[in-house]
Amino acid sequence: MRHGEERPVEGGACAAVFEVELLKLRAAECIDEAAERLGALSRAIWSEPELAYEEHHAHDVLTRFFQSERPAASWAVQPHYQLVTAFRAEWGPPRGWAAPRPLHLGFLCEYDALPGIGHACGHNLIAEVGAAAALGVRGALESLPGPPLPVKVIVLGTPAEEDGGGKIDLIEAGAFKNLDVVFMAHPSQENAAYLPDVAEHE
């Protein structure tokens, strides 16, 4: 199956699966189109590792990334969102959108480093993947014919994962309020789309 193929005439589950596969393909194409910019984003964060709550360079790199995405002002970016080195970037239905309330779909970017060993935990990659996933979903949604679906894509820059509990600070500040589902990816030695885990809190 290739992008641009005619969709099957029969309805039901087969047509729905075909639609989903086309959306996946379009998301992947959008990420591929942005690959050079995404790689530069990751390298910029990797090259200047910063500790928890001190990620000023990474914060600026990420906010500029979304501010420079085309078309201009397609992402509403809030630098220093609730925390000095946190940010929020939103893309969604046009202004004046009526009911129903859009689905609020979140992606997380981490970008703090470890003392003495830099980005050994790969948070530069977490930032890159979070940005890439958001671009991919946006591209897939924009490719749909007809009126836009009620979906808002939200990227949260979450500092201080290695030390200090930045996400807890953001939760307490209300940054996760009204987010319906939130995704994050983490580098691993395994090639796996899903690794079950439990939340840990001391």
Give me the residue spans of the domains in the chain: 13-183
Q: How many CB atoms lie within 10 A of CB 68?
A: 11
Reply yes or no on whether the pLDDT at 5 is more than 70. Answer: no
HSE-up of residue 75 (Cα within 13 Å, Cβ side): 25
d(Cα 50, Cα 70) in Å, to the nearest integer?
29
d(Cα 87, Cα 114) in Å, to the nearest integer?
21
Q: Categorize the per-residue pLDDT at 191 as very low, low, confident or very high, splitting at 50, 70 and 90.
A: confident
Reply yes or no on whether the pLDDT at 1 is more than 50. Answer: no
Largest CA distance in the chain: 59
| Tens digit of each residue's pLDDT (9 = 90 or more) over 70-100 | 887 799 999 999 999 999 999 997 766 666 8
Please give the share of the chain, as a percent, with pLDDT higher than 90: 71
Least confident of 63-67, 111-115, 162-166: 162-166
* CB 158 within 8 Å of CB 112: no
CATH 3.40.50.2020 matches 13-183: no
Give the pLDDT mean for 142-162: 93
Retrieve residue 82's tokens.
Answer: 């609730």
Give the pLDDT mean for 138-164: 93
Give the pairing of strands 181-183 and 103-109: parallel
Residue among 75, 77, 73, 69 nearest 38 (CA) = 69
Give the pLDDT mean for 87-115: 89
- Cα radius of gyration rounded to whole Å, the chain: 18
Q: Tell me how many degrees the CA angle 81-84-88 measures, rounded to the nearest 5.
A: 25
Reply yes or no on whether the pLDDT at 156 is more than 80. Answer: yes
Whole-Å CA distances, 145 to 35, 39, 78, 87: 25, 31, 30, 31
Residue owning tokens 């998301």:
27
pTM: 0.87
Q: What integer pLDDT is reported at residue 12 of this predicted model?
A: 66
- Residue predicted with more confidence, 199 or 178: 178
Q: What integer pLDDT is reported at residue 8 of this predicted model?
A: 46
d(Cα 44, Cα 66) in Å, to the nearest integer?
15
